[in-house]
Structure 1
């Protein structure tokens, strides 16, 4: 069963482009990298780096120090009913912690085909509006409002 604590990682380039990935289990559901912690005591930054690698093939450890940043923001949201079966019975809410990851312009993306079927680099405002999750869009806008 999944733990209802997750990370969201907005991956972006210095030119303001943001990476969005399309879910394999729901057509036209575009999002940033997301995923639950593997253990209740897993460090959130470790979880963020792990999820980035699992979903995009980007190795955070190979990037310059400080590329992965904790945005020091978390939200609590209702888990979509179609995904509640992944959690313990009665779990309906998740706490999501936001991170950002600055990558070099030439970064290659290798999707995990069981999870995602396509990716796009978009200007941040376009990426924010394309996300199926309003909170994902808000995370993108928050990142660029601080820039």
Structure 2
């Protein structure tokens, strides 16, 4: 009778740091470094660096001690609902600029609904860094 002894080595599970709030943050709250801490844990789809989260705005309620998901934060809102904003449209050498009313909040790059004040038509556009909205269609 032959004996066979095998040693199995299992690599430990990868442990990554995750960013968690130190206090509950309501949607719309601007996140600062004082609001954040890093804890150990395995959580895919969560932030692992404070620098990625600080300066962003909470899109959902973020609870103390729970990891922050990627979709839970975004750029700070530049325009608020019912705010009058500049609308710009450019196509085939034609450029139109007018004013509109924002029907949603939005940060840089967010797609928002706006109402053209002249025609009362509802349009969609993307928030620009200067707070204006660029209409694509």
More helix by share: 1
TM-score by length of 1: 0.26
Q: Taking CA–CA contacts closer than 8 Å with sequence separation of 6 or more, which of the two structures ends up with the larger relative contact order? A: 1
TM-score by length of 2: 0.28
